Chain A
């Protein structure tokens, strides 16, 4: 217990550090001192615009998306009882991305619906996989493989749309790897409250995840409506990753890495696990984004690049070394 709280404290500090770094990291156009004075309402208009309308929304977007994708992965892993499940691998992110593009195709310039479109895409893929598992009773690895297939399908459709209608996406590479360079502030206003709601829901209903770990029969014996809870969580996971994708494109691997790292140091209840996921996920994506923003200024590297560089070896390591412990059959 005690160790658990210390970890959370440490994670909180890391997040606070990442937020400050993202906020203050210099790039020549504005100095940390100027940012600080702008934060307190001093300094000229331009600096304030940079801080309040560029830096802060971006910090918000990156941390919210990081938290959302991580918690989405956590929920899916618990719900499908599979540590390989993540919104990236199961194709949920790609589904959301596909719908974002479809939406941009049919309703250009209306950012409000982008978030809802992403949610629908994510939900469609998730529902498909859930029903597939429920009906066929397929094994854990088959579910992941079907997810990979769905993922590839969505991605190829994404390619088709981008080839036919290049104007639907600002930066093809940034959209497919995931990044905040062409972040649209309107989409932040829509996605961030949705993510906040999803995170609150996940934290509040976390105890039911623990019950479901004991098997459906024990859980329902304890008075839990297992089916309803599971569907709620899956919808929540879809909403979280959809909202994230509507802001930053298809960021992969985060939903896989963070929950599994949390699993390494956190053995307690799910609520703590989710809080850890929020803190670590937000900090992680924020750090990746800040790195991408300042490394080659004035160019930007999409943050998904760093995630893929870390994530792909991580996945291989998980499959190879941790096979037994993770219970992959």
Chain B
């Protein structure tokens, strides 16, 4: 669980981001949506302790900035948008997810091995575990990196635009994996460009507008914020014909 209170992030003495309060829970998928440059990635970096901030970001009740990096990494996993293709195989990549547990000096334990195994199974990368990252397609690489953060076995997983380089089918696969993680009790926070999928798969939607985070709402809750949606994305919400749940509908200008 990550609690945010009076959070301000500065860049060159200029406040680029503010949030009064927000709560990212376990067992839920939270989507952060907003226009380019609205500060979504900055938020994830602050939540994972990679950006200086003022105010409070509490991870399981402890102030994020006060946690030691390895301890923090056991609670929060973070995956940036750009993923490098390094010269290593998939299994080795996933094994790095256990770094916060054994560090540089201890040998991996049985538990470490089990977590890596599980992460490879969940992401379906078991069959490709000996492949070099350079040999993988974009979607496969994305899943390989997802195996890394799953092996990290943290209660919260932060993903920065995890699907932006994937085609539609890969995205569906990817969200299926996220659903499974959610069922296992993980809290997922993702920055997402795809409004449709954000609405379809997430439990909470956080809208960012000009560096201000609006607190999380359900899809239904957002239906009252039509102005906001239209302003930022040019969409309106309509109930889908088969399930009755709301999804964004692009308006012609």
> Do A and B come into direct contact in the complex, CB within 8 Å?
yes
Which of B69, B71, B80, B86 is in CB contact (< 8 Å) with A213? B86
Query: Which of B24-32, B97-105, B167-175 forms contacts with chain A?
Result: B97-105
A194 to B71, CA, bound (A): 33
Hey, which chain A residues are within 8 Å of B69, CB to CB? 220, 223-225
A217–B92 touching, CB < 8 Å? no
**Nearest CB of B to A309, in Å:** 29
Q: In the bound complex, how far is the Cα of B94 from the Cα of A210, in angstroms?
A: 12
The answer to whether A223 touches B84 (Cβ under 8 A) is no
| Contact of A222 with B105 in the complex, beta carbons under 8 Å | no
Closest-by-CB residue of B relative to A223 is B73
Alpha-carbon distance between A121 and B87 when the two chains are bound, in angstroms: 32
**B-chain residues with CB within 8 Å of residue A206 when the two chains form the complex:** 104
Q: Name the B residues within 8 Å of A205 (CB-CB).
A: 104
Chain B interface, DSSP helix/strand/loop, else mixed? mixed
A222 and B79 within 8 A (CB): no
Given A217-B78, A218-B79: A223 touches B132 (CB 8 Å cut-off): no
Cβ A221 vs Cβ B77 within 8 A: yes
Q: Which of B108-167 contact A (CB under 8 A)?
A: 132, 145, 148-149, 152
Q: Which of B79, B89, B105, B132 contacts A221 (CB 8 A)?
A: B79
Interface residues on A, range: 20 to 34
- Return the CB mask of A32-46 against B: 1 if under 8 Å, else 0: 000000000000000
Report if B250 contacts A (CB, 8 A). no
Q: Is the CB of A213 within 8 A of B105?
A: no
Q: Which of B43-58 contact A (CB under 8 A)?
A: 45, 48, 50
With A215-B84, A221-B79 known as contacts, the answer to whether A210 contacts B96 (CB < 8 A) is: yes
| A218/B80 contact (C-beta < 8 A), A204-B105, A210-B96 known | yes
User: CA–CA, A221 to B152, complex, Å?
Assistant: 10
Contact mask B53-97 → A, CB, 8 Å, 1/0? 000000000000000111111100111101110111100110011
- Give Cα A213 to B84, complex, Å: 8
Q: What is the number of contacts between chain A and chain B, taking CB atoms within 8 Å?
A: 75
Nearest CB in chain B: distance from A275 CB, A: 15
Question: Which residue of chain A lies nearest to B145 when distances are taken between CB atoms in the complex?
Answer: A218
Set of chain A residues within 8 Å of B87, measured between Cβ atoms: 213, 267
State whether A269 touches B92 (Cβ < 8 A): yes
Given contacts A210-B96, A222-B96, is CB(A215)–CB(B132) below 8 Å?
no
- Residue pair A213, B88 in contact (C-beta under 8 Å): yes
A207 at the interface (CB under 8 A from B): yes
Q: Is B48 a contact partner of A221 (Cβ separation < 8 A)?
A: yes
A267:B96 contact, CB within 8 angstroms: no
CB contacts (< 8 Å) of A213 on chain B: these are 84, 86-88
Q: Which of A204, A214, A222, A268 has the most CB of B within 10 A?
A: A222
CB within 8 Å for A211 and B99 given contacts A206-B104, A217-B80: yes
The distance from the CB of B143 to the nearest CB of chain A, in whole angstroms, is: 15
Tell me, in angstroms, the Cα distance from A269 to B99 when the chains sit together: 13
CB of A76, distance to nearest CB on chain B (Å) = 16
Contact A207:B48 (CB < 8 A) given known A213-B86, A268-B92? no
A267 touching B88, Cβ below 8 Å:
yes
Expressed in whole angstroms, the minimum distance between the Cβ of B87 and any Cβ of chain A is: 6
Q: Which residues of A contact B68 (CB under 8 A)?
A: 223
A224 to B132, CA, bound (A): 23
Partner of B93, one of A204, A214, A217, A223: A214
- Output the least CB separation between B34 and chain A (Å): 20
Q: Which of B68, B79, B96, B145 has the most CB of A within 10 A?
A: B96
In the assembled complex, A126 has its CB within 8 A of some CB on chain B:
no
List residues of chain B with CB within 8 A of the CB of A246.
none
Taking CB atoms, residues of chain A closer than 8 Å to B77 are 221
Is A221's CB under 8 angstroms from B96's CB? no
The answer to whether A207 and B99 have CB atoms under 8 Å apart is yes
A311 to chain B minimum Cβ distance, whole angstroms, is 23
How distant is the Cα of A221 from the Cα of B41 in the complex, in angstroms? 14
Complex CA distance for A11 and B79, rounded to whole angstroms:
38
The interface residues of chain B lying within 8 Å CB-to-CB of A269 are 88, 92
Report the bound CA distance from A268 to B95 in whole Å.
12
Beta-carbon contacts under 8 Å, A249-273 to B: 267-269
Residues of A contacting B70 in the complex (Cβ-Cβ under 8 angstroms)? 223
Residue-wise interface mask of A (166-209) relative to B, using a CB-CB cutoff of 8 A (1 in contact, 0 not): 00000000000000000000000000000000000000111110
| Interface of B toward A, CB cutoff 8 Å | 45, 48, 50, 68-74, 77-80, 82-84, 86-89, 92-93, 96-97, 99-100, 103-105, 132, 145, 148-149, 152
Which A residues have a C-beta under 8 Å from some C-beta of B? 204-208, 210-211, 213-215, 217-218, 220-225, 267-269
Besides A211-B96, A223-B99, 5 more A-B contacts (Cβ < 8 Å) are A213-B88, A215-B82, A218-B80, A218-B145, A268-B88
- In the A-B complex, the 3 residue pairs with the smallest Cβ-Cβ separation, listed nearest first, are A223-B73, A221-B78, A223-B70
